[in-house]
Amino acid sequence: MTWLFDLPILAMGAVVLGATWLGTALIYLTVTRLATGDRARAFKAISPGILPPLSLMFALLVGFLAAQDWGDVERAHTAVNREASSLRAVVLLAAAFPGELEAKFRKNIQDHIEDVVTREWPAMAHGDATLTMAPPRLAEALRMAILYVPSGEGQIAAQREIIEALQGALEARRQRIILSHSSINRVKWLVLLLEAALTLVAIAMIHSDNPRSNRIILGIFSTAVGLAVVLLVSHSGAFSGEISVKPTVLQQVMPEATP
């Protein structure tokens, strides 16, 4: 379903609502065709009291899945902001070192951010980013910070803070890559859609003796189902789709990284 997640919101809404209405129409036509003779009396005997529990169960499923989506997005924002703050701290603290070393720190940070924006972000959007390889620019900056022999209390303190900031940036990067693989799995989608379908079938059966009212009620509930699915799909994947976490705060560090 990656193609659906990558659509603009309006196009995504059109696809999801169209599919929902098509499925609802098939349910309505099937139930209407079956509602004859004894089956019609059996459908009419179904208590309308079954609809509130079914609707409540669907609403609870939507709420749980929405909480997962929004929680992932919030954690992704936190990880990206932490990474940007750590990298900016390295750039600012690098001023405590001699000119050449400071320039190397700045260049490594700038190259790392460019690599994140041009290579890692598209990979995260498609769930292809991995932790197999450490980011070379950050690894080089950490190596320089560890191997440098400081002179004076100021450089000792700056060295310690730079090492901590680089470790924080590496940990934040790890978190955002892990979160790029987090999404609503197929089982959850299947359960949600089956619950919606069962509710629509129950509505169609209970109101099978009144076609006009049946169509109105089915249309209202199926639209609500479609909008709920659009809400979930548009937020499924913290780094994919039109509504996603962007590398804006990381890019804001780049001017600081330029000498």
Does the pLDDT of residue 14 top 80, yes or no? yes
pLDDT at residue 258 is higher than 80: no
Q: pLDDT tens across 53-86, in order?
A: 999 999 999 999 999 888 999 999 999 999 999 9
The reply to whether 6 falls in a domain is no
Would 173 be classed as within a structural domain? yes
pLDDT at 256: 63
If you search the block for the tokens 């129409």, which residue do you land on? 25
Reported as a single tens digit per residue, the pLDDT across 36-46 is 888 888 888 88
How large is the average pLDDT for residues 108-123? 92
| C-alpha separations of 25 from 30, 120, 141, 249 in Å | 8, 43, 61, 46
Residue 100, pLDDT > 70, answer yes
- Which residue, 245, 25, 233, is CA-closest to 129? 245
Please state the pTM of the whole predicted model: 0.83
The SS3 call for residue 126 is: coil
Task: Give a yes or no: residue 27 inside a domain.
Answer: no
Q: Say which amino acid occupies 33.
A: R
Domain count, the chain: 1
Work out the number of other CB atoms within 10 angstroms of the CB of residue 69: 22
What would the mean pLDDT of 165-176 be, rounded to a whole number? 94
Query: Of the ranges 5-19, 48-62, 134-148, 234-248, which one carries the lowest mean pLDDT score?
Result: 234-248
With 90 as the cut, is the pLDDT of residue 98 above it? no
Which residue bears the tokens 């009212």?
Answer: 213
- Is it the case that residue 228 has pLDDT exceeding 90? yes
Assigned domain for 101 exists? yes
**% of the chain with per-residue pLDDT over 90:** 63
Tell whether 53 is covered by a domain.
no
Question: Could you tell me if residue 58 is inside a domain?
Answer: no
Residues spanned by the domain of 131:
75-183+249-259
Residue 1, pLDDT score: 64
Q: Is residue 153 part of a domain?
A: yes
Q: Quick one: average pLDDT of 92-112?
A: 90
Q: Which residue has the higher pLDDT, 256 or 214?
A: 214
Residue 201 lies in a domain: no
For 91, counting Cβ atoms within 10 Å of its Cβ (0-12 exposed, 13-18 middle, 19+ buried), the class is buried
Residue range 216-234: mean pLDDT, rounded:
94
Whether the pLDDT of residue 259 is over 70: the answer is no
